[in-house]
Structure 1
Amino acid sequence: MTTAIAHLGPSGTYAEAAALIFTKGFVTETAQEAILCPYPSIAQTMEAVAQGEAQLAVVPIENSIEGSVTMTMDALWRLDKLQIRQSLVLPIDHALLSQASQLEAIRRVYSHPQALAQCQQWLDIHLPKAQRIATHSTTEALQHLDEDSTIAAIASQRAAQLYNLPILNCPLNDYPDNCTRFLVLGLDPSPGGTHTSLAFSVQANQPGVLLKPLQVFAERSINMSRIESRPTKRSLGDYVFFVDLEADARLAKTQAALAELSTCTETLKTFGSYNVVSP
């Protein structure tokens, strides 16, 4: 049996690097074959699993500098049958790739919006006049670097090796301890783990409407490691709240908390319990 694992492409992205790390452990643990399948966007990567094109997907969910990846959050709420199998934390060191002989020759810098944001201070200092152009991934523009020596891309050192491109500077990220947390998604839930993720909407935008859902966890001494809101896209001021718990959904107190939470929310979606792995 071969397992297809979807990730953001083209080859050389950080998502592919995370998928390769996961695949190594997956193959060892299950004795199954696995193939990596690149997709042009995060949403399409996740939809591939929802539609049965792939069995698993590896997508970024949170960066230590720029925070949450909103495209992943929105797709997770929309494709609510997806379950989190594992979380993987990957160190990120951005590199500037270009055929330019010196920085002063660079007129445009391409990369994923997250990568551009994670390097904005460096760009402000060293390439203040260069236009910053967002792409779907950190590797999307690499095939064009050989055609124009006035353009550059922010990508990984591994991407530079894969595409045989020179590195002008590394690392570029504004903060040294830059890391991204990835999710491994599938249709089947994991057996359990140290963390549980969920999302919910509330019935009305009024004072105290969020207090009761939060009390559900506080009263049971369940710690929330992350809470963030995203617009429902129904109307201005209407939000979905994403929560990560340091708890296993198999525990009785977690099950009791989720049961009570369902009574004080409009819609509750649980994405499963899982372990967080740092290579």
Structure 2
Amino acid sequence: MAVSIAHLGPSGTNAETAALAFSHHLTQSTGQSTLLCPYSNIGQTLRAVAQGDTQMAVVPVENSIEGIVTITLDTLWQFDQLQIQQALVLPIVHALLSRAKNLETIKTVYSHPQALAQCQEWLEKFLPNAQLIANNSTTEALQLLDDDPTIGAIASPRAAQLYNLPMLAHPINDYPGNCTRFWVLSLDSAPSGTHTSLGFSVAANVPGALVKPLQVLAERGINLSRIESRPTKRSLGDYLFFMDFEADLREPSVQAALVELKNYTETFKIFGSYSVKNIQLETLSSQI
């Protein structure tokens, strides 16, 4: 039976590219076949695996230009039964797709908010008067391009090939090293990993409330690689904290740290240990 993998659709998104990379890795390592299942937004993608509609989900969590993908963290906190199986780092290249003859013709540009933000400087320089409209994904608006030559959409070169659309400009992301980290999630834990992610809230907004959890890791020589705050949505100034550190959940020093961390937190959730895999687009293109 094929392993079902949810991702942000429609076809041609960077999330689908990451899902395809993981799918190929899974098939190569286990011999299992896979079935990719597109969903219209990230929340639905995570809900699909949390409710058992799919066995796995691939979602973006952090971009090197625009930072954290907030909907992923907020939804993961709600569906805390989800466990991270693997992290995938995917190079992100954006192109302007359009039937327009030139840039001067374009009046409106559609894309996902992250893609629009990652191309902000280019858009201000070359399309300063264009209206920018956010979509659920980079490919959602591509169906509009055939009917209106004044419309452009920011999507991947792969999407241009899939939908047989011309690239009017490429690449247009503001920084050449643009990349996004994705998480592969399921209801099962990975057997081991090099990184661990967790989330917690503190009992009260008082001096030292965050320092004490950080000291627990520092005293044991555990390297913190990321920390993010998100509002609890209960009251202004009340936050959740999401943390990644470079160690396996099963190491004795980590186990001891987690026991102590619980003493300084109100709600404490472990999202699992996992490995990090860098995806090379050149290699991937020959596989998909």
Q: Common fold, TM-score beyond 0.5? A: yes
Which amino acid letter does the alignment assign opposite residue 203 of structure 1?
A
> Within 2, Cα distance between the matches of 1:184 and 1:275?
10
RMSD, matched Cα: 0.5
Query: What does residue 100 of structure 2 align with?
Result: 100
> Within 1, Cα distance between the matches of 2:253 and 2:43?
34
Q: How does 1:98-247 map to 2 (within 5 A)?
A: 98-247=98-247
> Within 1, Cα distance between the matches of 2:162 and 2:274?
32
Query: What does residue 16 of structure 2 align with?
Result: 16
Which amino acid letter does the alignment assign opposite residue 275 of structure 1?
S
> Within 2, Cα distance between the matches of 1:200 and 1:219?
19
> Within 2, Cα distance between the matches of 1:11 and 1:55?
19
Unaligned runs of at least 5 residues, structure 2: 280-288
> Within 1, Cα distance between the matches of 2:268 and 2:247?
17
Q: Is 1:73 matched up with 2:73?
A: yes
> Within 1, Cα distance between the matches of 2:224 and 2:47?
28
Which amino acid letter does the alignment assign opposite residue 206 of structure 2?
Q
> Within 1, Cα distance between the matches of 2:227 and 2:192?
20
How far residue 91 of structure 1 moved from its aligned partner, in angstroms, is 0.2
Q: Secondary structure at the match of 1:262?
A: helix
Which amino acid letter does the alignment assign opposite residue 19 of structure 2?
A
**Deviation string for 1:34-55 (max 9, x for gaps)?**
1100000001000000000000
Query: What does residue 266 of structure 2 align with?
Result: 266
Runs of 4+ in 1 over 3 A off after TM superposition: none
How far residue 77 of structure 1 moved from its aligned partner, in angstroms, is 0.6
Query: What does residue 62 of structure 1 align with?
Result: 62
Query: What does residue 89 of structure 2 align with?
Result: 89
> Within 2, Cα distance between the matches of 1:30 and 1:4?
14
**Deviation string for 1:167-208 (max 9, x for gaps)?**
001111101100000000000000010000000000001111
How far residue 113 of structure 1 moved from its aligned partner, in angstroms, is 0.2
Query: What does residue 37 of structure 2 align with?
Result: 37
> Within 2, Cα distance between the matches of 1:171 and 1:257?
45
> Within 1, Cα distance between the matches of 2:13 and 2:67?
18
Which amino acid letter does the alignment assign opposite residue 25 of structure 1?
H
How far residue 69 of structure 1 moved from its aligned partner, in angstroms, is 0.2
- Identity between Structure 1 and Structure 2 (%): 67
> Within 2, Cα distance between the matches of 1:92 and 1:256?
38
**Deviation string for 1:113-134 (max 9, x for gaps)?**
0000000000000000000000
> Within 1, Cα distance between the matches of 2:217 and 2:170?
43
May I ask how many residue pairs the two structures share in their alignment?
279
Q: Secondary structure at the match of 1:243?
A: strand
> Within 1, Cα distance between the matches of 2:42 and 2:232?
19
